[in-house]
Amino acid sequence: MLRPALALVLILASGLALASPPKAFTATYRVLRDGAPMGEASVSLKPLGDGQWEYRKHLRGTSGLAAMLGADVEEVSRFRWKGDVPEAIRYDYRLDAAIKAKQRHLVVDWNTRQVTVDEGKGAITYPARPGMVERNTTALAIGLALQDGRKQIDLPVAVKQEVEAQQFKVGGKERVAVPAGSFDAVRVDRTDADRGFSAWYAPGRYPLPVKLSQKDGGDLTMELVSFR
C-alpha cells in the first residue's frame, strides 16, 4: 500500500511530475512559404470518448501559387493518452491540389503491436513502439514535454517505413513576435536529421508552438494567430 505513495513522493521531489494533458482547444495560424503569405491553418483537439482523442490540422492555400492551385491539406490523428504522451492509434493525411493529390493512412494495432501504412501503392507493416506518436502529433508531444520541464526530448515517431527515434534539443529563450502577440519563447530544434525543424513555445501558456519553421520542400513557417 505504501509503494504508490512513495513513488509519487519521489517523482515530486525530483521535479519530474508530469503535466496534465490539455483540454480541448482550437488554434489558428498564419502560414508563410519562403517568407511570403501562403495560407492559413487551424489546429484542434477534442475528446472522442472511450479514452480516445482527435487532433486535426487543416491548411488551406489563400495566397499566391497555393491559392491558384487550390491547395488543401488535412491531417487527422486519433490517439490515446499514455501519461501526457499522445500515443498513436490512427493517422490520415490528405493533400488536394490542381496538379497533385496524395494520401497516407496509418493505423496501429496495439494488440499485435503492428503499424500499417498505406499510400495507395501497397501496405507497409512494421513493429510499433510504446509511447509512439506520428508526424501530426509531434509538435503537441514536444509542447507537453516542455511543460514537464524536459531539456532534451526524444520521441519515437511512426513514419512511412519505420519508427524513427527523433531527437530535439531545448535551447534558451528568444523574443518572438507573431500575430497572437510577443512571447519570450523557448526554442526547440531537431538534432537527429538534416531537415531543418525549429519551433518556439510558450509552455506556460500553450501546448502548441507560437511559431514553427520547417525546411521540407521549401521554407514553411507557421505563426500563431489565436488560441481558444
The C-alpha atoms of residue 105 and residue 120 are separated, in whole angstroms, by 9
| pLDDT score, position 7 | 37
| pLDDT score, position 118 | 97
| pLDDT score, position 219 | 83
| pLDDT score, position 21 | 77
CA-CA distances (angstroms) from residue 50 to 53, 55, 78, 180?
9, 15, 12, 34
What are the mean pLDDT values of the chain's consecutive 10-residue runs (228 residues total)?
38 44 93 90 96 96 60 94 95 85 95 96 96 96 94 95 95 96 97 85 96 82 97
| pLDDT score, position 19 | 57
Q: What is the pTM of this model?
A: 0.86
The C-alpha atoms of residue 199 and residue 204 are separated, in whole angstroms, by 15
**Domain boundaries, position 72:** 20-227
Q: Is residue 217 part of a domain?
A: yes
DSSP-assigned letters across all residues of 165-190: EEEEEEEEEEEEEETTEEEEEEEEEE
Work out the angle at residue 136's Cα, subtended by the Cα atoms of residues 62 and 26, and round it to the nearest 5 degrees: 60
Q: Is residue 11 part of a domain?
A: no
Q: How many domains does the chain have?
A: 1
